[in-house]
């Protein structure tokens, strides 16, 4: 077990930010911690990284107790905090080498994490000269310096543009192949794109803990497609397993399919056969969205 949380409660003054939370995470696994703002995500992550103590309850990271074995917990986790605090006037290598010293990590590791996070072309700049996407990479590189088994990433993709978003998502997915990744987000598509499992938190309580695969199996899929021209709903309903069509905007359609199969290639072939041009094509999990709405609104 990589992360084991047992009955954690955190009270700030008169406010209960976490109320008796328990869950477990294995390695390797990418788990999305999903919840609206103020749900308690960052609080949970700060507790797991030993930045703050819980009011009651206990947790283990990589077999080490957060209260009694703080040093080993810190050795086991790489943490990207919510606002990724960086010194803007420092050079990328300077920043990483400062932290390598703190962690007592061999200097050769700096070039390794620069490569791993795709920072090479920007590594000669100061952090202040980097785009938000590259700053996130610096934060990730920093979290990876001591090659931790567990990565705790607090909203790693917030504020990134669509290209940066895809890059960082791919990076995290790759890291998740042999590490435990626990990442928070308030964006459902994020969970869809990256995670094996989702834990949904609302007002300090866990309201769902499910494998994405189980959510998908036997559930409806929604494909969002944009054509270059108007298409009749009835025409789109000819697609196999199509149950509902909703024209959400100009030439954008949400097609609900009653199947767990990914229907995007069918939509693509259908468009091709009917001389329609596709401008965008996305899939979303109807069940995750309805689950989230139902549990957090």
Encode 136-172: b = buried (16+ Cβ within 10 Å), e = exposed: bbbbbbbbbbbebbbbbbbbbbbebeeebbebbbebb
3-state DSSP assignment of residue 127: helix
> Measured from the CB atom, is 40 or 78 closer to ligand ADP?
40
> Measured from the CB atom, is 28 or 81 closer to ligand ADP?
81
Q: Report if residue 38 touches ligand ADP, rule: CB under 6 A.
A: yes
Q: Report if residue 157 touches ligand ADP, rule: CB under 6 A.
A: no
> Measured from the CB atom, is 82 or 149 closer to ligand ADP?
82
Q: Report if residue 42 touches Mg ion, rule: CB under 5 A.
A: yes
**Pick from 23, 29, 34, 43: which binds ligand ADP (CB under 6 A)?**
43
Q: Which of residues 259-288 bind Mg ion (CB under 5 A)?
A: none
> Measured from the CB atom, is 14 or 68 closer to ligand ADP?
14
Residue 180, CB half-sphere, CA atoms under 13 Å: how many?
A: 17
Apex CA 257: angle with CA 255 and CA 259, to 5°?
A: 160
Q: Based on the number of CB atoms within 10 Å of its own CB, is 219 exposed (0-12), middle (13-18) or buried (19 or more)?
A: middle
Residues 6 or more apart in contact with residue 180 via CB below 8 angstroms? 2, 3, 25, 26, 27, 28, 29, 31, 149, 150, 151
Q: Report if residue 15 touches ligand ADP, rule: CB under 6 A.
A: yes
Binding residues with Mg ion: total (CB under 5 A): 3
Helices 92-103 and 132-144: angle between axes, nearest 10 degrees: 20
**Pick from 39, 143, 183, 215: which binds ligand ADP (CB under 6 A)?**
39
Q: Report if residue 37 touches ligand ADP, rule: CB under 6 A.
A: yes
Partner whose footprint covers residue 40, from Mg ion, ligand ADP, none (CB < 5 to 8 Å by kind): ligand ADP
What is the closest distance, in whole angstroms, from the C-beta atom of residue 37 to Mg ion in the complex?
7
Q: What does the binding site for Mg ion look like in residue numbers (CB under 5 A)?
A: 41-42, 82
Q: Which residues of the shown chain bind ligand ADP in the complex (CB under 6 A)?
A: 12, 15, 17, 35, 37-43
């Amino acid at each position: 077990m990589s992360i084991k949380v047992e009955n954690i409660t955190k009270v700030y003054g008169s406010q209960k930010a976490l109320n008796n939370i328990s869950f477990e995470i294995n390695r390797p696994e990418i788990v999305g911690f999903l919840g609206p703002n103020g749900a308690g995500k960052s609080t949970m992550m700060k507790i797991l990284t030993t930045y703050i103590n819980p009011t009651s309850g206990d947790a283990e990271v990589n077999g080490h107790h957060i209260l009694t074995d703080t040093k080993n917990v810190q050795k086991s986790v790489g943490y990207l905090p919510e606002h990724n605090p960086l010194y803007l006037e420092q050079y990328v290598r300077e920043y990483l080498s400062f932290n390598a010293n703190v962690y007592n990590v061999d200097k050769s590791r700096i070039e390794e994490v620069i490569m791993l996070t795709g920072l090479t072309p920007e590594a000669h700049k100061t952090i202040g000269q980097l785009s938000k996407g590259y700053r996130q990479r610096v934060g990730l590189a920093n979290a990876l310096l001591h090659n931790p088994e567990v990565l705790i990433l607090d909203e790693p993709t917030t504020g990134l543009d669509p290209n940066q978003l895809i890059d960082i998502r791919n990076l995290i997915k790759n890291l998740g192949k042999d590490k435990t990744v626990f990442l928070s987000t308030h964006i459902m598509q994020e969970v869809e794109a990256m995670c094996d499992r989702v834990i949904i938190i609302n007002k300090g309580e866990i309201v769902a803990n499910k494998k994405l695969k189980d959510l998908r199996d036997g559930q409806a899929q929604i494909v969002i497609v944009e054509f270059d021209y108007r298409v009749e709903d009835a025409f789109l309903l000819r697609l196999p397993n199509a149950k509902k069509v909703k024209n959400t905007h100009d030439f954008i359609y949400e097609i609900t399919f009653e199947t767990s199969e990914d229907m995007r290639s069918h939509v693509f072939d259908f468009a091709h056969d009917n001389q329609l041009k596709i401008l965008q094509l996305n899939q979303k999990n109807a069940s995750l969205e309805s689950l989230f709405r139902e549990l957090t609104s």
